[in-house]
Structure 1
Amino acid sequence: MEKTVGISSHVNRVNKISLRVMFGMVALAVLGIVRGVVELNVNFGVLVLGVIVAAVLYKLKKLEPQIGIILCYTYFLFIMLGIISNKNLDYFLVSIIINVSFITLYLNKKLLLAYAIIFDLFAVGFGFLLPNNLTEKLISEAFAVNACIFILYFVAKWGNELIEKSSNKEIEAVNAAENTNNLVDLIESSSLALINDINNCNENLEALREGSSGIMAIMDDVAKGIVEQASSINDISNMIRKADDGIKEIVKNTNKMSEVSVKTSDVVKEGAEHISDMDKQMNIIKNAIAQSLSTVTELEKSMDEINKFLSTITQISDQTNLLALNAAIEAARAGEQGKGFAVVAEEVRKLAEQSSEAAGFISTIINELKNKTTSALHEVRGGNEAVKEGEVIVNKVNKNFDNIKASFNNIDSCIDEEVKVVEFTSELFRKVQEQAESIASIAEEHSASTEEMLATISEQDRSIETIRDLMKDIRESAVKLDGITKDRV
């Protein structure tokens, strides 16, 4: 399928050119018939019929590969019927070479070989029908035609291969670009999900910070109660009950804080998994862009190969022109007997010049394509650099998530330690209730424990602020990554 698309497009263009040329020939023939210069005969009817059939098929867009065969063999029959009716070989070589040139434009080596076989069969048949003086000329011109077909066979073969190769590379480049866009879309969606997860985590951290503030306020109340207990033994029981209530509130808030920490830790783990997926996607994009870079480079090399073949065609045209000039000189030396040969040499020279001009025109187009290919190569390299920057950002985000995990582990340790302290404090209050006489010493221990708890909670607040800062950095990195993917799209 990939090969058919490139060749079919080329065949359609050649059919269009061939139809225009054949219509021009019909118009000239009609003009000659009207003026009485050309006779209305069978070969004119064959020409008109073939052109009409080919034009109808071209208009209906049917049997496009066969249109070229119809046009080429219509012109061939037109030439052969003209030779039969006129009994001479004037313009025979020029007409056949023109026909062969049109067949070569289709870049179909099988069509060219079939034409060579049919031409040789006709030439052998005409050799028996023509007079002896024309037979030798027919043989020499048939040899020249076969030599020309031999050369053009390789032109058609290589040209067909280059078109197929160019078409395949173009399709591969388009597919690679589509895959890259899909991967960029996936990265963009992953970045948005990461930003949402970070926002949720920030909300959880804010709730955790508020819980810590509540605990600190409660501990301040507990400290005040201890001072009052030291100054008034009579209020010991009431203060102990209040302190006991405060401890219960601490336990409640600590449990909430533990739950929030677990949920936040899960969110962090999920975010780390997203980052890991993004890293994998970045590797896929990197490989896709590397493949695109390789494909565009190979396409540029193919353009250079085409320029080499065009240079060969130009050299052949120059050689043909030189041979035609030498033939014209020899014809001039021959006098009247060489006039016909001089005309043929002049036509060959013109064809050689036209071939050289066509090759130059094609070379110009190829150079333009090469410039565009070079531009595409720069774009692909730019995409490769962007992917490298994306990899750096992803690695940075990954590292930040590792730091967050470590911070949450520290938070869990602090919470465990706080629970132990609260349990120890509760045990102290129980002893106070049992031994009122040792209230002073217990109050001192309680005060020391309270200060320790306040220090622990303060440390916890600082850890929460650190986590919030890390979350902010992660969010900025995710937004930057999302912006890079949007720029690439």
Structure 2
Amino acid sequence: EFLDRKDEIGRLANSFNNMTDNIKDLITQIVDTVSHTSSSSQELASIAEESTGAADYIANSANEVAGNTEKQIQAVESASAVVEEISASVQNVADNTRNVAELGDKTVNAVYKGQEAIKEAVEQMNNINHATKDIADTINKLTISSKQINEITDVIDGISEQTNLLALNAAIEATRAGDAGRGFAVVAEEVRKLAEQTQDSTRQIALLIKENENNIITANSAVKEGEENVSGGLEIVNSVGTTFEEIRDLVNMVSEQINNISAAMEQVASGSREIVGAVESIDISSKNVAEQIQSVSTATEEQLASMEELASASQSLAELAQEIQAAASKFKV
């Protein structure tokens, strides 16, 4: 009935009525807002708890990965040291192989020089063989000449004997002739002495020829033995030459194989150096990854702390909303 009045009381009643309606609307909005805030705070708290769990899991995983990465770095560094040792060993083997290849080349050159020396020795042995044969021919000719000289001395010796006999007969006849044959006797005596000297000379020549014949026989035996020795030496030298050729072929094969091994070892050494570079790159990358994981772990831990604070604030907000909602429910709408 106050609302229908036109005086101050009526206007006051209308104003109070409007204020009541506004308060009802405000309380309704507050209740709705608080209810929505409470629901959102609970959802936010739940999400924050889930995010906290996820962040905690991520942090633990990051720490575990960081630990594994640290182990990987240690393993890579150990592998790097081993690979460097292997690379140094391979390089050492490559250097030694190169030295062996150089020695092989020197050996080949020495074998070639030895082969040339063998050829020269063979040529000299052939020359000696030819010279020995020439000496043998000369000795044979000398033997023939000695025989001819011996025959001639025999003839001279025979003539000397006959001359001696003739001189003796002439001396006898000169003696018979007396003084008339005295001069002839002197001549006959001189002829006899000359014949005797001739016989003595022929005997000495015969002895010398006999001695020469013995010397020729000895020389001929020595020459034949020399020919046999030269022939045997020539066979040995030729055999040595053949052996040198076989050694040359074997050394060439070995030298070629050593050169191939040296080239392969050079490639292995180059590959080892590349592996060392790759391992060093992996080491650097692993350290970078470890630093990044450490950064992620730190950021995750910071996020975990923020999420825990957010969860705590959301829980407080939800509790506050429940208190507001409880207080607002005391109003009669």
TM-score, structure 2 normalization: 0.50
TM-score, structure 1 normalization: 0.35
Which structure has more relative contact order (CA 8 Å, sep 6+)? It is 2
Tell which structure's C-alpha radius of gyration is larger. 2
